[in-house]
Chains A and B, each alone.
Chain A
Amino acid sequence: MARWPWWLSGAIAILLIASATLMPLLAMIREAGSIQWTEVLGNTYIQRVIRFSIVQATISTVLSLATAIPVALALSHKPGFPGRSLVVTVFSLSLVIPTIVAIFGIVAVFGRTGWFNAALSVFSFAPMGFYGLPGILIAHVFFNMPLATRILLSGLEGIPEDNWRLCRQLGMQPWSIFRHIEWHRIKARLPGLALLIFTLCFTSFAIVMTLGGGPRSTTIEVAIYQSLRFDFDIQMAVALASIQLLICLALMALSTLIRHDGTLGFHLFMPAHTPHPGHLHNDLKSRLWDGPMWNAAHWSVIVTASLFVLLPLLAMALSAFNSKTIAVLTDPSTLLASINTLLVALVAATLSVTLALGILNSTRHMRTRLGLERTGQWVQLSGNVILVLPPLVLGTGLFLLLRTVADVFSLALVLVVIINSLMALPFVLRILNDEVMNAASHDDRLLQSLGIQGWNRWRLIDWPQLRRPLSLSFALSATLAAGDLSAIALFGSERVRTLPLLLYQRMGSYRLEEAAVTAGMLLALCLLLYVVIQWLLGGRRHAAT
């Protein structure tokens, strides 16, 4: 049988990625040529949108980090309490729960008629305003505080046990420990973490669209959507998309200047395999912050943060069972949207994982056998194109490219699949890369000497070693695609909807009971995809870990 050249899989993957991104980009650049840029930059609406995008992302970043630091410290100081791993797991959940589902829960707790305002009214306080900037900030902190906490906590847990012994021996006080040991760990992660959260909030779409509450609270992403879907002002959409593209490029360039700690990776999705710290370790740490004052401070921080994350999820789960539950579950439009969601999730995940494997198969050869480490890494970067070309910008380009040759909205599902597979690709590459390279560096000379390659290599060596990270990548990309609102909001219609779009429409028309059931369905579907895919692909043993 003829052997496939090592570069073929990577070349095909990159060609597919390039055609899905460069052609839309070229269509956008061509359209941008006819824009009067001095007018655009002088437009007060655009100026306000850019200003608001930056302001809300900056405040969200500061709030997320300011809340995450005490939570991470409290969890680090309390290493052995029962339920700690549950709290940490719940903090990871916010990474995979569909944004629109969490928003529904956040509204139920912090909205005008939510639990929080009900509690305030008991004490005769005025209700808190929600829609607009406050709602956006609460939702951004809901998603990013747990993310930042987990990253900072992994840094704090990396402090060697010997350091804690030394602290005890030297009689160091808590403030001194924070200043000389803990802050050092936190400080190293802050620049990268801040940039990551800023980028996530800056390109945030579903939160701003749902909770923004009008033109005063619009970000660039939402403004692009409004220009294309409501105003049909293509020049405005292209102008905004170009500005968004430039800012994302600048953020990407900035991120290369920051020394990224490995802990900023997507390994946080992987089940933890670090050995559980022993009793002595826990005892040693706990005694450093002994006393009722420290106990009260730690517990109040941990309980408040846990309630902040848990209550919206609880509210959403409880409201899913109401008088409309049966009607919504048997409604043909819900069923059709569920089938579409499942279809988008599975096809996008397949595409994303196949593209990643194609790229990694070639770059593995470049890095291990040809010694082209740097070139291999650059080739791998092609999979991160979505980081500079956010979904709404890519969507604008695809819309411009296809509008003259086809009915764009009839291609909705295809376009949603393409955008979602590219959105998941950086995650998939990040998860698979380490495992693929570890296996390659471990076995490469042995594989060469025994002549194991092609299908034999995949069947006997790669698949058994990679099935767990592969199943995780597949499950994660399917879950992200199932919960995505951005692409389907742009291309969806009454005829073609997924569950996130249906949920958004039901929330928008104040059919809240139906929305609650839809949110419950979407959450159940995502969790089911996440668990079942890992169980089927990763094997029973892996799903249990």
Chain B
Amino acid sequence: MLQLEQVLISLGKRHWEFDLTLQTHGVHALLGRSGSGKSTFLNLVAGFMQPDSGDIRWQGQSLLALAPDRRPVTTLFQQKNLFNHLTVEQNIGLGIHPGLKLSKTEARSITEVLDDVGLQGFERKLPGTLSGGEQQRVALARCLLRRRPILLLDEPFSALDTVTRQEMIMLLSDVIAAYRPCVVMVTHDEEDAVAMQASILRMSDDRILPDTESRPATDD
């Protein structure tokens, strides 16, 4: 379980309080207006920000002392997921080793994960030659290879056109069914949340409230 226990954070004059528990295997969509604190929530879980007080736990263990790369978390950002001067293969390889020192098995696993996201033969391509949807798939492939139990999705479809968005939702749904991570997705669009069969949480009055009309997150 991912637990945020009375987590308080202040940024300037804004204050947020997060106190909730998310199930180990489930898709949770966090909805809210721009500036409502959705990204602050993701930044806290990912370790880009430290709370003023409270604790963040995964399976009972506190995450606060861990650097972002040591947390059981991987993030698919809205954009800027890839280094434009590195090939697809290198971008994914960074998820395995930050110095790109890969064994033969690890190098082979990159080809396999590219197959999983439908990008066979893209190893040597540079991100600049890919479409927005393909770039997001490469980033997703890296998230998959990192095999972290918490997957954070920071508005992952907002920069995509309608068709690519549908394809990406289908791909993500398949991947989630296969790997069964704890997914937290930040989005403006309730339709995306419904399409992902997510339990809905709403940012309200600087705290997160469960959406009573939506399906509760289940831990099967």
Q: Say how far B146's CB is from chain A's closest CB, in angstroms.
A: 8
User: A450 touching B98 by the CB < 8 A rule?
Assistant: yes
Among A70-101, those with CB < 8 Å from B are none
Among A435-480, those with CB < 8 Å from B are 442-443, 445-446, 448-453, 455-456, 459-461, 464-465
User: A451 touching B68 by the CB < 8 A rule?
Assistant: yes
User: A449 touching B81 by the CB < 8 A rule?
Assistant: no
Bound Cα distance A449, B68 (Å): 5
User: A445 touching B98 by the CB < 8 A rule?
Assistant: no
The 8 closest A-B CB pairs, nearest first, are A451-B69, A456-B99, A448-B68, A452-B98, A464-B85, A451-B98, A449-B68, A456-B98
Q: Which of B's residues lie within 8 Å of A, judged by CB?
A: 46-48, 67-70, 73-75, 77, 80-81, 83, 85-86, 90, 94-95, 98-100
User: A448 touching B98 by the CB < 8 A rule?
Assistant: no
Of the four ranges (under 10, 10 to 19, 20 to 34, 35 or more), the interface on chain A belongs to: 10 to 19
Bound Cα distance A453, B80 (Å): 18
User: B83 touching A448 by the CB < 8 A rule?
Assistant: no
Q: Say how far B213's CB is from chain A's closest CB, in angstroms.
A: 33
Residues of B within 8 A of A443 (CB): 80, 83
User: A449 touching B100 by the CB < 8 A rule?
Assistant: no
25 example contacts (A-B, Cβ-Cβ < 8 A) are as follows A442-B80, A445-B77, A446-B80, A446-B81, A446-B83, A448-B47, A448-B48, A448-B68, A449-B46, A449-B48, A450-B69, A451-B68, A451-B70, A451-B98, A452-B94, A453-B98, A456-B98, A456-B100, A460-B83, A460-B86, A460-B90, A460-B100, A464-B85, A464-B86, A465-B85
Residues of B within 8 A of A455 (CB): 99
Chain A's closest residue to B100 (CB) is A460
Bound Cα distance A336, B45 (Å): 63
Bound Cα distance A464, B75 (Å): 24
User: A449 touching B80 by the CB < 8 A rule?
Assistant: no
Known A456-B99, A460-B94, A460-B99: A449·B85 in contact at CB below 8 Å: no
Residues of A within 8 A of B74 (CB): 449
Bound Cα distance A464, B80 (Å): 17
Q: Say how far B78's CB is from chain A's closest CB, in angstroms.
A: 11
User: B77 touching A446 by the CB < 8 A rule?
Assistant: yes
Bound Cα distance A460, B68 (Å): 19
Residues of A within 8 A of B81 (CB): 446
Chain A's closest residue to B139 (CB) is A446
Residues of A within 8 A of B86 (CB): 460, 464
Bound Cα distance A460, B101 (Å): 12
Chain B's closest residue to A467 (CB) is B85
Which among A445, A449, A450, A459 has the greatest number of chain B C-beta atoms within 10 A? A449
Bound Cα distance A464, B87 (Å): 13
User: B83 touching A461 by the CB < 8 A rule?
Assistant: yes
Bound Cα distance A130, B75 (Å): 69
User: A451 touching B67 by the CB < 8 A rule?
Assistant: yes
Bound Cα distance A446, B80 (Å): 8
Residues of B within 8 A of A445 (CB): 46, 48, 68, 75, 77, 80
Chain B's closest residue to A442 (CB) is B80
Bound Cα distance A290, B89 (Å): 57
Bound Cα distance A452, B77 (Å): 17
Bound Cα distance A445, B154 (Å): 12
Known A443-B83, A465-B85: A448·B67 in contact at CB below 8 Å: yes
Q: Say how far B39's CB is from chain A's closest CB, in angstroms.
A: 10
Bound Cα distance A460, B91 (Å): 10
Q: Say how far A464's CB is from chain B's closest CB, in angstroms.
A: 5
Chain B's closest residue to A371 (CB) is B11
Bound Cα distance A464, B46 (Å): 27
Among A489-512, those with CB < 8 Å from B are none
Among A180-227, those with CB < 8 Å from B are none
Chain B's closest residue to A465 (CB) is B85
Residues of B within 8 A of A452 (CB): 94, 98
Residues of A within 8 A of B77 (CB): 445-446
Which among B69, B70, B81, B95 has the greatest number of chain A C-beta atoms within 10 A? B69
Q: Say how far A537's CB is from chain B's closest CB, in angstroms.
A: 16
Bound Cα distance A202, B36 (Å): 54
Q: Say how far A204's CB is from chain B's closest CB, in angstroms.
A: 42
Which among B74, B83, B85 has the greatest number of chain A C-beta atoms within 10 A? B83
Q: Say how far B143's CB is from chain A's closest CB, in angstroms.
A: 10
Bound Cα distance A274, B128 (Å): 19
Residues of A within 8 A of B94 (CB): 450, 452, 460
Q: Say how far B64's CB is from chain A's closest CB, in angstroms.
A: 15
Bound Cα distance A456, B95 (Å): 13
User: A450 touching B99 by the CB < 8 A rule?
Assistant: no
Q: Say how far A29's CB is from chain B's closest CB, in angstroms.
A: 43
Q: Say how far B99's CB is from chain A's closest CB, in angstroms.
A: 4
Bound Cα distance A462, B83 (Å): 11
Chain B's closest residue to A460 (CB) is B100
Chain B's closest residue to A464 (CB) is B85
Chain B's closest residue to A452 (CB) is B98
Residues of A within 8 A of B67 (CB): 448, 451
Residues of B within 8 A of A442 (CB): 80
Among A312-362, those with CB < 8 Å from B are none
Known A443-B80, A443-B83, A461-B83: A449·B75 in contact at CB below 8 Å: yes
Bound Cα distance A56, B33 (Å): 61
Bound Cα distance A442, B85 (Å): 13
Q: Say how far A531's CB is from chain B's closest CB, in angstroms.
A: 24
Residues of B within 8 A of A456 (CB): 98-100
Q: Say how far B91's CB is from chain A's closest CB, in angstroms.
A: 10
Bound Cα distance A442, B77 (Å): 12
Chain A's closest residue to B97 (CB) is A456
Residues of B within 8 A of A465 (CB): 85
Bound Cα distance A449, B74 (Å): 7
Residues of B within 8 A of A448 (CB): 47-48, 67-69
Residues of A within 8 A of B98 (CB): 450-453, 456
